[in-house]
Amino acid sequence: MPNPTAAMLVIGDEILSGRTRDSNMHYLAQELTKIGVSLTEVRMVVDDTDAIVDAVNALRAQYDTVVTSGGIGPTHDDITADAIAQAFGAHIDIRDDARALLAAHYERQGSEFNAARQRMARIPDGATLIDNPVSIAPGFTMENVHVMAGVPSVFQAMVASVLPHITGGAPLLSQSLRINRGEGDIAGPLGDLAAAFPDLSIGSYPFVRDGVFGANIVIRGTDAGQVDAAMTRLAGLFPGDCA
């Protein structure tokens, strides 16, 4: 059976404007790989309700798991929670359990639990809270959609909270080999190798180093024996050019 699939939706004007570099996708891909879930698609959308609703509904229908990042803070442009509620046709308002978490947190800090901070307690009906040990404000899960913060440290903490509840498959194994020849030289034999091992993913990632053209060949799969066999055959194709 193929591994379960996942998609990620990155939300925020600051990402698409280039002001903020997204690191959450890289982290999520690594963590999902460990539990045998294939991150198959990543989309980025601006802070626009219709865009978020359309993307969420498309992704949740196609993939086993969807993870969103961004847009659940206290400011006016944090509209993700309301968009998710709209996507599911659910009512949304300040929820008592989320409100209690935040009220206690700001009381400990000696800070006012003002209207802006209370916005982070707005949770759609039927959602399950995602624990946030970093800054307390929770994310939430609606069916197969996990809604998380965009701040990397908080996102990573929320991923850790959710991963035990995601059904995984066989962990993806990976081996790589550097070949000091250009892709034009290796493309034919590499294509034959890929055809001989259809259950594996074989990728070629070119580089130029000190004027020498080469490629890092990465072989991925869930069967250790197949990965080893493909790597052994690959090394035999280019004797003297491998590192």
Query: CATH for 5-165?
Result: 3.40.980.10
pLDDT digit string, tens, across residues 83-118: 999 999 999 999 999 999 999 999 999 999 999 999
How much is the pLDDT for 48?
A: 96
What's this model's pTM, rounded to 2 decimal places?
Answer: 0.88
Residue boundaries of the structural domains of the chain: 5-165, 173-237
Residue 241 pLDDT level (bands cut at 50, 70, 90):
confident
Residue pair 55/134 in contact by the 8 Å Cβ criterion? no
Give the start-end residues of each E strand in 70-159.
92-94, 122-124, 128-130, 139-142, 145-148
How much is the pLDDT for 237?
A: 93
How large is the average pLDDT for residues 112-133? Answer: 97
Q: How far apart are CA 218 and CA 184, in angstroms?
A: 17
pLDDT at residue 126 is higher than 80? yes
Class of domain 173-237: alpha beta
Residue type, 59: L
The partner residues of 11 in beta bridges, in order of sequence, read 45
How much is the pLDDT for 62?
A: 98
* Helix 224-237 and helix 183-196, axial crossing angle in degrees, nearest 10: 140
pLDDT digit string, tens, across residues 31-54: 999 999 999 999 999 999 999 999
How large is the average pLDDT for residues 193-210? Answer: 94
How much is the pLDDT for 240?
A: 81
pLDDT at residue 1 is higher than 80? no
